[in-house]
Amino acid sequence: MFVRLYVTAQNETEAKENLKVVLEKIKQILVKTNVEKLEPYWKFDDIYVVELNLIVKKDLSLNELNTLLKTISDKWQCYGEPINEFLASKTTEGCNYILKGVEMINIYLEEYDIQI
């Protein structure tokens, strides 16, 4: 699973703290977390982009993933057939809740990430 996360932060320490909050929400499905990139986002001064490669437990179901995603945001857009991408943004119409510090999050699934 590949995750691209945009977090509000003035520095790397704040970005790591916001990342920690997101990972805490999904820790029960994680086997391993690799932070590939953590750097200021070129478009905005107060945003960091974090890219992660996650190894998730082998028996993860789409229902279980959806339940965990709802703890991050109440509005997700899904793409693909079968679904292979999830997107949540605080600017999405109808989004009433997204974790504090999270501006946007993209989650890309590999075909072996989810048991259907």
| Distance of alpha carbon 88 from alpha carbon 77, whole angstroms | 6
CATH value at residue 83: 3.30.70
Domain count, the chain: 1
Residue count (the chain): 116
Q: Residue 113 falls within a domain, yes or no? A: no
Q: Residue 41 falls within a domain, yes or no? A: yes
| Domain extent at residue 40 | 2-108
Q: Residue 85 falls within a domain, yes or no? A: yes
Q: Residue 116 falls within a domain, yes or no? A: no
Tokens of 95: 């989004």
Confidence (pLDDT) at 90? 94
Q: Residue 61 falls within a domain, yes or no? A: yes
Confidence (pLDDT) at 73? 97
Q: How do residues 77-109 score in pLDDT, each as one tens digit?
A: 999 888 889 999 999 999 999 999 999 999 998
Residue 50 contacts by C-beta under 8 Å, 6 or more apart in sequence?
3, 4, 5, 6, 7, 15, 19, 35, 37, 38
Consecutive sets of 10 residues in the chain, 116 residues long: mean pLDDT of each?
Answer: 96 96 93 96 95 91 89 94 91 95 94 62
Q: Residue 115 falls within a domain, yes or no? A: no
Q: Residue 78 falls within a domain, yes or no? A: yes
